[in-house]
Amino acid sequence: NAGVTQTPKFQVLKTGQSMTLQCAQDMNHNSMYWYRQDPGMGLRLIYYSASEGTTDKGEVPNGYNVSRLNKREFSLRLESAAPSQTSVYFCASSEFRYTEAFFGQGTRLTVV
């Protein structure tokens, strides 16, 4: 039972480079989320997707784009990476708003 799988686990980018973080869940959940975790700031919502085909901005969407490819997959793209995007990124999924959210293991991204 894989749950929520994120790739890659670690990544180092140069300023200006682009990359896509992949996330897949095998629990048939409707909602998926992308967060970033920074020291002292907790988890901040970047984007979320309430269902297949829909995406919405969260608290800190600038510099990111997302794609809900299908019900299983929700990717996060950095078009032109900046040092301020150095963070740990978490993907999560849940069935409804009342139920438990399941998290991936995180992607540690460093932009130099």
Partner 1 sequence: AQRVTQPEKLLSVFKGAPVELKCNYSYSGSPELFWYVQYSRQRLQLLLRHISRESIKGFTADLNKGETSFHLKKPFAQEEDSAMYYCALSAGNMLTFGGGTRLMVKP
CB nearer partner 1, residue 90 or residue 109: 90
Q: How many Å is the maximal CA-CA distance in the chain?
A: 40
Q: Which of residues 13-32 bind partner 1 (CB under 8 A)?
A: 31
List the one residue from 35, 64, 74, 89 that touches partner 1 (CB under 8 A): 35
List the one residue from 17, 44, 52, 108 that touches partner 1 (CB under 8 A): 44
Query: How far from 106 is each of 7, 21, 25, 54, CA to CA, in Å?
Result: 8, 10, 14, 23
The Cα angle at residue 75 between residues 69 and 79, in degrees rounded to 5: 120
What string of DSSP letters covers 49-96?
Answer: ESSTT--EE-S--TTEEEEE-SSSBEEEEESS--GGG-EEEEEEEESS
CB nearer partner 1, residue 17 or residue 101: 101
Q: Which of residues 81-110 bind partner 1 (CB under 8 A)?
A: 90, 92, 94, 97-98, 100-101, 103-106
The contact set with partner 1 (CB under 8 A) reads 31, 33, 35, 40-45, 48, 50, 56, 58-59, 90, 92, 94, 97-98, 100-101, 103-106
